[in-house]
Amino acid sequence: MEESTQPKKLTTAAGRPIFDNQNSVSAGARGPLLLQDYFLHEKLAHFNRERIPERVVHAKGSGAYGTFTVTHDITHLTRAKLFSKVGNECRMFARFSTVGGEKGSADTERDPRGFALKFYTEDGNWDLVGNNTPVFFVKDPVKFPDFIHTQKREARSNLKSPTMMWDFWSLNPESLHQVTILMSDRGTPYGYRHMHGYGSHTFSLINAQNERVWVKFHFRTEQGVKNFSSDDSAQMKAQDADFAQHDLVAAIDNGNFPRWKMFIQTMTQEQARTFRWNPFDLTKVWPQGEFPLQEVGVMELNEVPVNYHAHVEQAAFAPAHVVDGIGYSPDKMLQGRLLGYPDAQRYRLGANYEHLPVNACPYGFSNYQRDGQMALGNNGGPGPNYFPNSFDGPVEDKTVGEPAEQLDGLYADRYDRNEGPGDNDHYTQPGNLFRLLDAQAQRNLIDNIVGSMSGISGPKKDLIVQRQLCHWFRADIRLGMAIAKGLGVDVEMPTQHVAAAAV
């Protein structure tokens, strides 16, 4: 029988045809995602189970305990007890990591860095799970597994593939902002102590009057920003693959405790409705000239864990873990992570992963969850495991509800993530970033891009290179020209036939 020339139809694992593999089901174009989007669940759940036992992403990391101290009053913005007065202090745990590499990979690879924080507050644990960049490569969680696959190993050779990476990036111009940061000197930070951290997503703050504002969290290093050059990072990879771990442990052991100041940006709901970009788009920043940084507190790391596996490897973070006074937003990537991160931890560590000492709330907890792997403690003792009950089991706290949130639309559908006002502008912010760099930093960025894109190979090389060059030209003509020259591409070559739009 002659083989069909028609492409295979994409389906779920049960064989159901998939209509849209790039946009999650949301309540309106900017509304929250819906639980009924089974394909999103299936895709993320399968992705979380692709590797055992190390983390699928952020496998190589370092961690330390410390303290967070409130230095400025923001009680007009949030009723969270942690921020109830200046001088409040809580214990915390931080884990830094590379993203794409395996557990034995080098600390100095060109890669974003994870910046995950756990605050042990009297209202429960608050996890702020971010990166050392304020943006990300994609804006819809259904695209996340595809992106990460391009950062891992190619199926045939089991090698990292610049062709896969640049093929994906050239087909997804929404990645351009993060790619520009990654290819700059910020893509190779000098360990973990000399980089900023970001919550990245938009969250919300809710005050005592039940008023909501949108918020972004920033952590600015007090050690000063310091990066490796591309050549120096490669040399350090050969010299000390665990450089960042050595640097962090040595600093704390020597009493040189690293510190970061916490700042926030806030945006009112009215400002969000009229902002020229979608304020919940993870590929965009809020310009600090319009939404200035407001200082909140300081974080200091001062204790190396006594056992790496027990405290760093078993640390489990999830952006779903917020406290009263801090809430979510319609950020689609955040909405996907609310599901995906706890699911990843249950798979990796078991259903009772929050019983482990590094993850447990030191102020205790009470619920009706029982049994499962590693049910530490007395597993609820003789108490009831159902609600409501007549036997003095824990009851609801009616004082901590959030204000109702007006949804963006009344129709549940798959809305094109790039169709709204300003949503298809993937070039202004990367171009602005390039123009903000000094001449040497611009040169380094160009050299790093050329070096990486030079690794593109195979029969689709010219197509991928031309498609990606279109994006660089749209961001900044000087940037595009310099990259084309570095790659030896004749810029007079017609590129109009190359599809540069997102698929």
Give the orientation angle of helix 439-453 with respect to helix 230-239, to 10 degrees: 60
What DSSP character marks residue 312?
I
Bridge partners for 26 per DSSP: 33, 413
Compute φ and ψ for 303, nearest 5 degrees.
-145, 120
Bridge partners for 299 per DSSP: 68, 260
CA 49-52-57 angle, to 5 degrees, is 70
CA distance 107 to 127: 23
What DSSP character marks residue 227?
B
What DSSP character marks residue 23?
-
What DSSP character marks residue 424?
T
Cβ count within 10 A of residue 436: 9
Who's near 306: CB < 8 A, 6+ residues apart? none
CA distance 106 to 355: 31
| Contacts made by residues 178-181, CB under 8 angstroms, sequence distance 24+ | 178/112, 178/133, 178/135, 178/136, 178/137, 178/283, 179/137, 179/430, 180/430, 180/433, 180/434, 180/445, 180/475, 181/133, 181/135, 181/433
Sign of the Cα torsion 335, 336, 340, 341 reads: negative
- 341 marked among binding-site residues: yes
Using an 8 Å Cβ cutoff, are 189 and 307 in contact? Answer: no
Annotated catalytic residues are: 58, 131
The H or E element that residue 73 is part of is none
Binding residues for heme: 341
Binding residues: 341
